[in-house]
Amino acid sequence: MSDEGGKFAHDGLFWRRLAMLGAQHLPTWCVRYTPPFFGLAAAVAVPKARRAVRRNLRRIRGEKPLYRDVLDTSRTFMAYAGSLAEILAYGSKNQGLPSFHIIGAERMHEAVARGKGVILLTLHTGGWEVAGPLFMGDIKLDVMLVMAAERNARARELQDRAREAGGVKVAHVGDDPLASLPLLRHLQQKGALAMQIDRPPPNGRVLPVRLLGDDDGSLPEGPFRLAQLSGAPLVAVFSMRRGFRDYYMEVSVPRTLPRRATPAQVHEVAQGVADDVTGFLRAHPTQWFHW
């Protein structure tokens, strides 16, 4: 019997709870050294995700020999497992302070100084979930992660507790047109919204862009409309995991949209963000956890 979306699915409650128990209760050396092995096991056990990673790698860097595809796919799963273990350890004896090498930190200070709140545009890459606690500590930002709801509600709640243990708020959005109201209030209170832009919602509106060399790329429209309504600058913040609790981050130039922006103005800003995405992923192809 299929367990699609159930507790024994690869993204279900059982495996998420098992990962959290290990990250929080095993010795710290286990959190440091064992995730790569679990990442490799996942690459073998979940062929659908493995094929998706290989497709992504080819989109980013083109066709490569089979051995290179296998190597880079393995690196992607190992990086994902390490990142997941470190976020699940929040709120436990194994929680530690991550170190960041940040390029463009002054741009974040510039965006915050405008007093309109900030919309952080992120990707599913190494370290994206620890960026919120970083900015809360460094710039005193009140960060809210805005995410689409996972299909397994109990598994989602488990990981949300780990995220909130890091000090960030979590908001899940869907098709409700009123879902943007608390997000706008958060921006009006000079908070920051962290919104992922590499998985446009299946039923949501998107903006067409050129992405990874493909003219048929798209970005979710929501963050750009929120920027229009609130006046908050859009700041692309992309991160990658270099090692145990060791991350690298790039902060883009702040981009703003007038309330009555023309379609051409919206497209120009969206394309600028898409170019940032393309540049980052091509520099770090094995850090994209998009499957």
Q: How far apart are CA 82 and CA 34, in angstroms?
A: 8
Contacts of residue 250, Cβ cutoff 8 Å, sequence gap at least 6: 102, 103, 104, 236, 237, 238, 239, 280
Pick from 193, 198, 200, 271: nearest CA to 235:
193
pLDDT tens profile 222-248:
999 999 999 999 999 999 999 999 999
pLDDT at 186: 92
Quick one: pLDDT at residue 136? 59
In this structure, the number of other CB atoms found within 10 A of the CB of residue 238 comes to 27
What pLDDT, on a 0 to 100 scale, did the predictor assign at position 3?
44
Per-residue confidence (pLDDT) for residue 225, from 0 to 100: 94
Among residues 194, 186, 205, 190, which one has the least CA distance to residue 163? 194
In sequence order, what are the beta bridge partners of 234? Answer: 119, 255
Closest CA to 37 of 49, 57, 48, 22: 22
What pLDDT is stored for residue 278 in this prediction?
Answer: 98
Report CA 23 to chain centroid distance, whole Å: 20
pLDDT of residue 4: 44
Phi, psi of 210 (to 5 degrees): -90, 120
Q: Which pLDDT score, from 0 to 100, does residue 68 have?
A: 96
pLDDT of residue 1: 36
Q: pLDDT under 70 in the chain at which residues?
A: 1-16, 131-139, 149-167, 174-179
pLDDT at 8: 39
pLDDT tens digits along 65-85: 999 999 999 999 999 999 989
